[in-house]
Copies of this chain bind each other. A is one copy, B any other.
Amino acid sequence: MSPRTTSFAPRSVADVCEWDFEADVVVVGYGSAGASAAIGAAEAGARVLLFEGASGSGGTSAMAGGDIYLGGGGGTSVQRKNGFEDTTEDFFRYMMMAGGPDADEERVRLYADGALDHFAWLQSVGVPYSDTYLPGKPVMPGTGDCLILSGSEEAWPFSERAKPCPRGHLPKAIGEAGGRVLVDALASHVRALGVEEHFDARATALVVDGARIVGVVVRADGEEKCARAHGGVILCTGGFVLNEEMLREYAPQISRLTDDSLSAGYDDGSGIQLGQSVGGAAIHMDEMFVTLPFYPPQSHVKGILVNERGQRFINEDAYPGRIASYCLRQVGDRFFLLVDNEIFEQPSELSRIEIAAVGETWDEIERALGFVEGTLTSTVEIHNRHAARGEDPLFHKHEKWLKPLDRAPLAALSCHLRETFYPYFTLGGLRARPTGEVQRSDGSVIEGLYAAGRTACGLPRWGEGYSSGMSLGDCTFFGRQAGRAAGERARTA
């Protein structure tokens, strides 16, 4: 796994003595992006080869909740059935805000316009969905329900610019197996379409003919094999959250966190490195989806979060991924959630948050935790004074989560970057057009090379804006787009 031991330097076609495989489209990586790419290419009439480093399909997608972020067009069938109307413009605006200062407008537009069709497509390939809505702020519910509020839709500033609507669509699954259900359905369809699958086969180099990509070198059964791709090679090997060297060079803030990442074990950045080896630019490599699920219990959203200086810094009703990103902006690795007796419940195991101090007054807790006198107490006083009026002029938390924290006993729960936060996955990746075509830093396209999923920098590209379901939405939608584009190219090239 160590990147030092491999070199991804491209192979010249002149140095390939023999093609062991030949296909229209070669897909590398078999998570939800790779599966969708293979399907897209096969749908376009291409003969498809799929290489996966693991011994089975699924990748990191299979470890996720399976949530896909969908809406617009008046609403999906599930949104409508549950009384939610969702316009494409609200959906678009939310996705643009979520993409941050470099949101990819072309990509967001395609996705917003195509989301209803995409949902129908997922159902058509066999992903099962119920039609029920689970209210509140569920985190990885695993109840078999479909629709959830999965981001910062109801929170400032998103709520001011896009009408809130739940858009997370979970496959019908009990427990945390939603992602597995999603990928299994895709994989069945991949097989039904006659895609040739090879497991335990890792890509080690791209084969170049001048500036064009014409194939890929894989290592399988202890041997090096060369696969020719007439239409293109599609890189779908996930992100780089397991590659320590890349993390240090691209996202060094990660060193403040635990290594409790969401990965099936292959997010070593190899796809990104293969793309870079032939001139592909990797962008927004400092962005990650880090999260701090400080609830359930949901009542704790009514508490307030402070940094080590006793300062509040965000509306606590925002999505936990956004909150975690703001935590990383603070100096100091420890945070406290302040609650009172009215909202306190035993924290869930998931939240990994612990009681640090209990007292009759905030003054007492301020002293007990060694805060500088007047810091914690002034923060709570300002919060309580406004919360009593249903206001939060400083951080704009929604009225329904506001209450004065004044019913003793009072408590401070503590969480710590290194112990409590989840650095789930990386959001940076190869710069690519919505077709998946990998681009150089100057915007030009590398002929024959495509990327999708977290190997590309897609819809989600800003930790502060991430909402659950955006990554799998991007993987499946733009995976399929890349497959189609490479399949088309095979026909015309």
Q: List 12 A-B contacts (CB under 8 A).
A: A7-B444, A8-B444, A245-B443, A246-B441, A269-B441, A311-B311, A329-B330, A372-B382, A372-B394, A374-B378, A375-B382, A378-B378
A42 within 8 Å of B (CB atoms): no
A211 within 8 Å of B (CB atoms): yes
Minimal beta-carbon separation of A330 from chain B (angstroms): 8
- Tell me the bound Cα distance from A381 to B375 in angstroms: 10
- Tell me the bound Cα distance from A286 to B276 in angstroms: 18
> Who on chain B is nearest to A328 by CB?
B329
Check A309/B9 contact, CB under 8 A, given A100-B252, A253-B101, A431-B249. no
B285 and A252 form a contact (CB under 8 A): no
A273 and B8 form a contact (CB under 8 A): no
B279 and A278 form a contact (CB under 8 A): yes
B101 and A9 form a contact (CB under 8 A): no
B281 and A279 form a contact (CB under 8 A): no
> Who on chain B is nearest to A370 by CB?
B393
Give chain A's interface residue range (CB within 8 Å of chain B).
35 or more
- Tell me the bound Cα distance from A272 to B442 in angstroms: 10
B9 and A444 form a contact (CB under 8 A): yes
| Beyond known contacts A101-B252, A102-B249: 7 more, CB 8 A cutoff | A10-B211, A246-B441, A252-B284, A276-B281, A276-B441, A279-B279, A329-B329
- Tell me the bound Cα distance from A3 to B273 in angstroms: 23
Contact of A443 among B4, B102, B255 (CB under 8 A): B4
Give chain B residues whose Cβ lies under 8 Å from the Cβ of A311: 311
A443 and B3 form a contact (CB under 8 A): yes
B393 and A9 form a contact (CB under 8 A): no
- Tell me the bound Cα distance from A113 to B4 in angstroms: 27
A282 within 8 Å of B (CB atoms): yes
- Tell me the bound Cα distance from A7 to B281 in angstroms: 13
> Who on chain B is nearest to A392 by CB?
B372
- Tell me the bound Cα distance from A329 to B281 in angstroms: 26
Give chain B residues whose Cβ lies under 8 Å from the Cβ of A280: 276
6 A-B pairs with least C-beta separation: A101-B252, A378-B378, A7-B444, A329-B329, A249-B283, A277-B279
- Tell me the bound Cα distance from A221 to B289 in angstroms: 49
A217-263 contacts to B (CB < 8 Å): 245-246, 248-250, 252-253, 255
A210 within 8 Å of B (CB atoms): yes
> Who on chain B is nearest to A240 by CB?
B441
Give chain B residues whose Cβ lies under 8 Å from the Cβ of A285: 283, 285-286
A55 within 8 Å of B (CB atoms): no
- Tell me the bound Cα distance from A101 to B252 in angstroms: 6
A4 and B102 form a contact (CB under 8 A): no
A281 and B374 form a contact (CB under 8 A): no
- Tell me the bound Cα distance from A284 to B4 in angstroms: 19
> Who on chain B is nearest to A249 by CB?
B283
- Tell me the bound Cα distance from A372 to B102 in angstroms: 32
Give chain B residues whose Cβ lies under 8 Å from the Cβ of A211: 9-10
A492 within 8 Å of B (CB atoms): no
A418 within 8 Å of B (CB atoms): no
A350-388 contacts to B (CB < 8 Å): 372-375, 378, 381-382, 385-386
